[in-house]
Structure 1
Amino acid sequence: ASNSHVVVVGHGMVGHRFVEALRSRDTEGRWRVTVLAEELDAAYDRVGLTGYTDHWDRSRLALPGNDYLGDDLVDVRLGCRAVAIDA
């Protein structure tokens, strides 16, 4: 049962890799993860944007597993800007 919770602010490459690493090591499902992302698109390869000069194809830049489909312990909130932290 999950008894710890982490909030990730931003869903870029680093945030995505963090969630992947945490979930792969959390074999007992103790951690719940909430990802707050200001953008409306799930994590994508921003470095790959430099190869585009005109229109870019979001689906070709999407990072694998960026939607965490089937993982009930990860809640990605797209279009949700973090404006303050109340610790």
Structure 2
Amino acid sequence: MGLTVALDDNLLAEGQLYWDDGVRINAYEDGVYLLTSFTAKQNYSDPNNLVFTDIRVLGLPRGVSRVTVAQNGTIIPSRHNVTCTNE
């Protein structure tokens, strides 16, 4: 699962994610789903411990040279290639 974050001019972004099992017809009515809100800003922390395989951040200013991912203040070592491009 991937997440694309499009920052505004103030380098902030907000959104919601609805997730269900993809099988149950009445997932919403039965209350068997996840609805979570995201706010991306400096020192953002995810309260739900969701795992994303790809995170794209759009709207970063030029000059960003490093991206780190941390959980509860601890940098998470990644076996994946982390790249930052200012396009």
Q: What is the TM-score of this pair, normalised by structure 2?
A: 0.33
**Greater share of residues in helix:** 1
Q: Which has the larger radius of gyration?
A: 2
